[in-house]
Structure 1
Amino acid sequence: MSMMLGLNLSLTGVGGGGAAPFVPTQPQLVATYTGIPNGSFVQMGSGNVRALGRSGHRSGRVRAKNLQFLDSLIYLSTNGVEAASATLNTLKRAIEIGGVTTQALYAGLTSVGISGSTQALSDIIGSIELPPDTDFFARWEKTLALDTQSMIAHALSGPSGQGFRTTGASQLLSTGAMNSSGTSAGPQFWPNGIFGVPFSPMSAVCIVADSIGNYREDLNSASGGGAWARALNSILGSAVPWMKQSQNGHSFSNASFANAPLQKTQWQYVTDIFIELSTNSMPSSGTVAERLLVLQNGWLNLADGARAITGPYGRRLRVHFFDMIKRDSYELDATQHDTRLAYNAWGAAFADGKADAYYNTDSVVTVPVGSDGIHPASAVHIQAASDVIVPGYIPFLDPFYFPFGV
């Protein structure tokens, strides 16, 4: 009761003795199904002059203005190693809301060239606004200098995702599903982020995850995507905007600030960081205490870095701790078993005061874990989302909620 009361007071502004509601001014993430590419490279193919596609997204609970796209060629390769494609991609984008398509510009131009670690933030897209709780679409078109060159793709599927390579005309400024006639199958792309300024405070999340949080053994679809995306897609009847920085095999080391600095530049656009990375970070040798210290240091590297970043409301980012869930091999090895439990206990005690929230996701996983002994089945993702993540995040819908102080 007290946490929900705090949510209502902070968002309406009446918690400060009748003070006026807080009016956001800074850009932030305002939609779902965004993130860093984590798929394979796809060659343009003989004769194709463009790649094109359309991806579905949902807005959060608050109307937003000053909309912008963020794109890059940063990607997560094997085991989450951060990389960037050096191949020059010429990008065009448009946003489709309620059957009306509006092109995005880049410094007033209709296209932008991106390569390497360059990140392309569009101009504010006209005067259009994004209504709350609304399904809409991001349209895109890419050209490369040579049809023998390749583009990095997204391995994750969202609502109404389409991607083609074609010798035909542009469909960037059309509306509705793209016509696949005369095209070849092609990659799908999500924007790294869709940003805007909400009319009232709204939280947004970056999910930093391994294969479990990526979606493994769940459906790779709009209705699946792993427990973390499932949860954020519907909390109290609305979606919480989210971006994914996830890959199969991802670990604390590969996600660290030293090894993955490019992704961290996007954290300023969210209010919360979900860290679901521990299972691949278990040390292969050492005592329980020694292994626990390695895990703690890996988590703290991300948590301390996040806490040093100022989000869109002038406050530090909030950090969320998720258990290392069971896996068959960890249950059969006493040292790994005890290390896992010690790590989870440390998180339950809020990780030396560095965690703003703790989620006992391990409680919904049983042994044998799943088809491969590591990844929980789709039904567990649903249960975890409904029983653990959703109620745990509800107080954080208020971006000014800090349970232990700022």
Structure 2
Amino acid sequence: MSMMIALNLALTGGGGGSAPFVPTQPQLVATYTGIKNGTFVQMGTGNVRALGRSQHRSGRVRAKNLRFLDSSIYLGTNGVESTSATVNTLKRAIEIAGVTTQALYSGNPSVDISGSTQGLSDIIGSLELPPDTDFFARWEKTLALDTQSLIAHGLSGPGTGQGFRTPGASQLLSTGPMNSSGTAAGPQFWPDGIFGVPFFPMSCVAIIGDSIGNYREDLNSGSGGGAWARALNNILGSAVPWMKQTQNGHTFGNASFGNAPLQKTQLSYVTDVFIELSTNSMPASGTVAARLASLQAGWLNIADGCRNIIGPYGKRLRIHFFDMVKRDSYEADSTQHDTRLAYNAWGAAFADGKADAYYPTDSEVTLPVGADGIHPAQAVHAAIATNVIVPGYIPFLDPFFFPFGE
């Protein structure tokens, strides 16, 4: 499929000669969203609020009915799903083209979030989000006690992301960079999701990944962020909206439906799932066949569960398989080497029919791997994005494209 055909299909909803499909359901419409994966930061004596501002980019299609989703879900050590029991009183606003509009929650200016409770805002007035536009999500949080702590993001986005604790006044409804003079640093927050209804069909992606998918050895910035974010930030000149569920050391087991159910509730707002999550799941013992079976079971748990989720177009989620890339120690051990190759070959054959796409990411990785034998260098992240992920995803710009049927 040519690039332009794929793009035209994405904008018309399948290109089968019928009238264009008109979306009605909320979906992810912006980049740099996801589950928190950083550290806890104490409010600190005298600070009455935490404030911040994060930059995002809209997808290729104009969207309406904008909403924020936030939670206290976070990924701890090795991707273990956890929640903070501390009550966070959250306020949010969206800043588009120099105009800031507050989000409400059941008509109220704030929402209390703790544990498994997730805060989905009301539709933010009659605002529309223009296509291919940089905009900002503003936030304010207060905690009951200054001895309590906020969970933060370990990821940086484009522009100058802000997050600080302050004894000063609210800047939620101002515009432009916040005045952080005389305040305490951190933390930063992304929304779990920024949702809307696009005027034409538009695909969007959840990235479930480990340290490589998180960004490790790439730039932790808007120009880096790991190969998967790099790719989605620019496909045919536009961003594909994405959310991250990534953490260093993440494994199939910790990302499974049984162990990470709260994250999975957010996947109904996307059309596609990238599963970049295998290298830390390599079994330490057993034959090649036994280790391969373990890896397959881990991948299939996530893939099968996601295939049972219905996305914003009434279709199941599409599942994308990525190679287990080289690791120096795996190449030095014949069993691990052979297991890795067998796993990749299984993916190349579309994982028993459960993968809708396969990406030979390992083709861009050479030995020795990066500075530590595990994490590919920044240039390799860039090559994977440009040479593998971007061309592989282009047909999926059409959210109705299912190469092997639904």
TM-score by length of 2: 0.98
Instruction: Give, in whole Å, the separation in 2 of the partners of 1:10 and 1:137.
Output: 26
* Deviation digits for residues 61-98 of structure 1 (CA, Å, limit 9, x no counterpart): 00000000000000000000000000000000000000
Q: What is the CA distance between 1:8 and its match in structure 2?
A: 2.5
Q: How does 1:204-223 map to 2 (within 5 A)?
A: 204-223=204-223
Instruction: Give, in whole Å, the separation in 1 of the partners of 2:316 and 2:14.
Output: 23
Q: What is the CA distance between 1:157 and its match in structure 2?
A: 0.1
Partner of 1:311: 311
* Deviation digits for residues 232-257 of structure 1 (CA, Å, limit 9, x no counterpart): 00000000000000000000000000
Q: Is the 8 A contact 1:14 1:20 kept in 2?
A: no
Q: How does 1:147-186 map to 2 (within 5 A)?
A: 147-159=146-158, 160-186=160-186
SS in 2 for 1:262: helix
Instruction: Give, in whole Å, the separation in 2 of the partners of 1:227 and 1:278.
Output: 16
Distance change in 2, residues 1:9/1:156 (3 Å): closer
SS in 2 for 1:15: coil
Instruction: Give, in whole Å, the separation in 2 of the partners of 1:100 and 1:255.
Output: 39
Q: Is it true that 1:125 corresponds to 2:105 in the alignment?
A: no
Partner of 1:33: 32
Q: Is it true that 1:68 corresponds to 2:67 in the alignment?
A: yes
Q: What is the CA distance between 1:12 and its match in structure 2?
A: 2.4
Q: What is the CA distance between 1:324 and its match in structure 2?
A: 0.1
Partner of 2:285: 285
Distance change in 2, residues 1:345/1:14 (3 Å): closer
Counting matched residue pairs gives 405
Partner of 1:86: 85
Q: What is the CA distance between 1:6 and its match in structure 2?
A: 5.5
Partner of 1:355: 355
Instruction: Give, in whole Å, the separation in 1 of the partners of 2:14 and 2:115.
Output: 47
Q: Is it true that 1:189 corresponds to 2:189 in the alignment?
A: yes
SS in 1 for 2:129: coil
Sequence identity (%)? 83
Q: What is the CA distance between 1:181 and its match in structure 2?
A: 1.3
Q: How does 1:241-390 map to 2 (within 5 A)?
A: 241-390=241-390
Q: What is the CA distance between 1:180 and its match in structure 2?
A: 1.0
Instruction: Give, in whole Å, the separation in 2 of the partners of 1:285 and 1:69.
Output: 45
Instruction: Give, in whole Å, the separation in 2 of the partners of 1:176 and 1:354.
Output: 46
Distance change in 2, residues 1:354/1:128 (3 Å): same
* Deviation digits for residues 86-145 of structure 1 (CA, Å, limit 9, x no counterpart): 000000000000000000000000001010010000000000100000000000000000
Instruction: Give, in whole Å, the separation in 2 of the partners of 1:84 and 1:135.
Output: 30
* Deviation digits for residues 287-311 of structure 1 (CA, Å, limit 9, x no counterpart): 0000000000000001000100000
Instruction: Give, in whole Å, the separation in 2 of the partners of 1:371 and 1:319.
Output: 31
Instruction: Give, in whole Å, the separation in 1 of the partners of 2:7 and 2:174.
Output: 41
SS in 2 for 1:252: coil
SS in 1 for 2:128: coil
Instruction: Give, in whole Å, the separation in 2 of the partners of 1:88 and 1:13.
Output: 42
Q: What is the CA distance between 1:20 and its match in structure 2?
A: 1.0
Q: What is the CA distance between 1:383 and its match in structure 2?
A: 0.5
Q: What is the CA distance between 1:9 and its match in structure 2?
A: 4.2
SS in 1 for 2:257: coil
Instruction: Give, in whole Å, the separation in 2 of the partners of 1:350 and 1:398.
Output: 20
Q: Is it true that 1:136 corresponds to 2:138 in the alignment?
A: no
Instruction: Give, in whole Å, the separation in 1 of the partners of 2:15 and 2:156.
Output: 41
Partner of 1:110: 109
Distance change in 2, residues 1:253/1:95 (3 Å): same
Instruction: Give, in whole Å, the separation in 2 of the partners of 1:66 and 1:105.
Output: 13
Instruction: Give, in whole Å, the separation in 1 of the partners of 2:152 and 2:6.
Output: 42
Q: Is the 8 A contact 1:103 1:173 kept in 2?
A: yes
Instruction: Give, in whole Å, the separation in 1 of the partners of 2:173 and 2:21.
Output: 36
Partner of 2:200: 200
Distance change in 2, residues 1:187/1:357 (3 Å): same
SS in 2 for 1:347: helix
* Deviation digits for residues 24-54 of structure 1 (CA, Å, limit 9, x no counterpart): 0000000000000000000000110000000
Instruction: Give, in whole Å, the separation in 2 of the partners of 1:26 and 1:376.
Output: 38
Instruction: Give, in whole Å, the separation in 2 of the partners of 1:234 and 1:388.
Output: 13
Q: What is the CA distance between 1:16 and its match in structure 2?
A: 2.8
Partner of 1:237: 237
Instruction: Give, in whole Å, the separation in 2 of the partners of 1:317 and 1:29.
Output: 13
SS in 2 for 1:395: helix
